[in-house]
Amino acid sequence: MPASIKSIELRNLKIEDYKELKKSMIESYPEMAESFWKENQIELLLEKFPEGQLVIVVDGIVVGSALSLLVTEDFAFKTRSYKAVTGNFSFSTHNPDGEVLYGIDVFINPQYRGLRLGRRLYDIRKELCEQLNLKSIIFAGRIPNYGKFKNEITPKVYIEKVKKKEVYDPVLSFQLSNDFHEIRVLKNYLEGDTESLEYAVLLEWNNIYYDDSPKLINTKKSVVRLGLIQWQMRSLANLKALFDQAEFFIDTVSGYSSDFALFPEFFTAPLMADFNHLSEPEAIRELAKHTEAVKLKFQEFAISYNINIITGSMPFIENGHVYNVGFLCKRDGTNEMYRKIHITPNEVFHWGITGGNAIQTFDTDCGKVGIVICYDVEFPELSRLMADEGMHILFVPFLTDTQNGYTRVKHCAQARAIENECYVAIAGCVGNLPKVNNMDIQYAQAAVFTPSDFAFPSNGIKAEATPNTEMTLIVDVDINLLKELHEHGSVKIMKDRRHDLYSLKKV
């Protein structure tokens, strides 16, 4: 390593760099000194794919390079030798329409190693992959230390030992530390590679931002705006009064370009005041008669205010049973029902409510979301199954009478955000409803919770409303941060599960 360095530049390769490039390559591969790239080959590479050829320049000297081609994923996975990948060094395999960046060479002059310059080359390759909207980076990496173990272990065992850091390999160890994962072992890959016994490991890095069907409109948003409605329980004269109050809030959050409006569990309960002379099971069944009208009206609101509405929950009768359900009314005019699965003892005792039996996620124009009602969030299995289906946002409409009940919902919701690497939005009812049996008091604080890592708030709370006060909470969440967390987080909860010891599946 030089005693002092004045400047380091990372840029695209130029043909004028060839002499220094050749010198650094020969010094980087002393065991294959005659295998350097010829000038006409570099000219050809620059002609076919100039943006894919990169160099590191230290104090005006080319000390390292990363060279690559574009190929199809099918070609990358099926091609088994270096000659075949490069078209016998003619680069005829370069495909401008390919979705994969195939790395054909990376090297750093030994005199400049220890400065993490190789990491810079890998990082800029990843940026190039993202900028070109490519699916992945793929290449075959040598395993030069394998020759020392050839009489003891197979290449497969050698790779496992390198992964576990029981054995060090100057090439493979570096590649694994840069988030590449192995696909398979290749035999007879690079002719003349005596150190690796001509073995190589096919490696891949996936671009989490890849969009296989780019569109100018109707693309899924990376930043999603949530409008949470902390609903005040109050006496309502009729169904129209409820619609007027709901429309006020929908108008408010849509006025700030929210993508979702979240209402609380049983926010329609004030309408039960008309049935307070009946028994509680009878009153809830009367309230259920309004559910279809509420759904239709919220469908209308979703279209006219251009917002996806999660209708909290309300009673619904099917085959003689009462369910606690809600609707996802999408701004495209469609709707889907979700049902509360775990029913509290209070709901069973007073209203005779039956639990649903569908665990599902929902596709929206803002990505895949999950919805669980109140008590359901206290059962981690539901949201984990949803996370396995690709859920990024979990919505939790809730209704709790005391701060104790709210605390259970809050802390379980926070746990779901951390363990499933997702956002969790909760919204509940506040205030009092003295003229409705079993609905006397409510306590709530709407909030949006996040995972706990450097890209998120240190306490895992994106935003919170004022407790027990009617208001809205408008919060932006960035879906790309979840993708980065999943791949590069301090811990990788979803990836590090021990599937060899346990599994979770729907019955």
- How far apart are the C-alpha atoms of 326 and 358, rounded to whole Å? 13
The three state secondary structure string of 33-81 is CCCCCCHHHHHHHHHHCHHHCEEEEECCEEEEEEEEEEECHHHHHHCCC
- How far apart are the C-alpha atoms of 261 and 255, rounded to whole Å? 11
Catalytic site includes residue 374: yes
Catalytic site includes residue 48: no
- How far apart are the C-alpha atoms of 138 and 415, rounded to whole Å? 36
- How far apart are the C-alpha atoms of 194 and 208, rounded to whole Å? 36
Catalytic site includes residue 265: yes
Closest CA to 17 of 44, 56, 49: 56
From the list 295, 297, 330, 340, the catalytic residue is: 340
Instruction: Report, in angstroms and rounded to the nearest whole number, the Rg of the chain calculated over CA atoms.
Output: 30
Q: Which residues pair with 9 in a beta bridge?
A: 57
From the list 99, 195, 265, 280, the catalytic residue is: 265
Phi and psi of 189, rounded to 5°?
-80, -55
Pairing of strands 308-310, 260-262: parallel
From the list 129, 329, 366, 374, the catalytic residue is: 374
Using a CB cutoff of 8 Å and minimum separation of 24, what contacts does 92-97 make? Answer: 93/69, 94/48, 94/49, 94/69, 94/70, 95/69, 95/70, 95/71, 96/49, 96/70, 97/70, 97/72
The angle that helices 39-48 and 18-28 make with each other, rounded to 10 degrees, is: 110
- How far apart are the C-alpha atoms of 499 and 204, rounded to whole Å? 22
Give the up-direction half-sphere exposure of residue 234: CA atoms within 13 A in the CB hemisphere.
12
Q: Which residues are catalytic?
A: 265, 340, 374
